[in-house]
Amino acid sequence: MEKTTGGANKKSNARLLIRDRAAEMCIKLEQAEEVLKAMRNIDDRIIHALNTTVPTASFSGKVNATQTCKELYESLLEAHLSREKAIKACITETSAVVGQLREARAKEFDNMSLIKQLRKEQTKLKFMQSELNVEEVVNDRSWKVFNERCRIYFTPPKRS
């Protein structure tokens, strides 16, 4: 939604940083929490974004509300899809690690470091699975706010 070239570059750089961090978020649980928080920034600030960019009826002639809502829609959609993809990739990766650790534990059932690592990975897996539920709530809230404010200016295409 930035209008200036510098703002567009800053936004693009932020997206690249978040994508890079999302690719590594499965390494540590603490990293995953931090990355998801950064990736949810657009959802956390949607009301502010709408209040500052979508005009009220008295100011509707000064801003292209249709274009602004379209840009916000595209940003939200991209953010939601990238977060879901990152979470699901992490779940897949962590599930594989848990499976390998379970097999190893079956062979070495008294190896305490192996048991500790398995519990750590299981905790991370449960966290990421719960984040899918959180993601659904965050997305629903954002779309509700978006639709309340932008419905008269922009109709999103039907999603399959």
pTM comes to 0.75
Which residues have CB under 8 Å from 100's CB, separation 6+?
none
User: In this predicted structure, what is the pLDDT of residue 117?
Assistant: 93
What's the CA gap between 69 and 47, in Å, rounded? 12
Read out DSSP for 90-108? HHHHHHHHHHHHHHHHHHS
CA distance 130 to 21: 20
Say how far apart CA 16 and CA 20 lie, in whole Å.
6
Note the maximum CA span of the chain: 72
pLDDT in tens, the chain (160 residues): 333 444 445 444 544 444 455 556 677 777 778 888 888 888 888 888 888 877 666 555 667 888 889 999 999 999 999 899 989 998 999 999 999 999 999 998 889 999 999 999 999 999 999 999 999 999 999 999 999 888 888 888 876 5
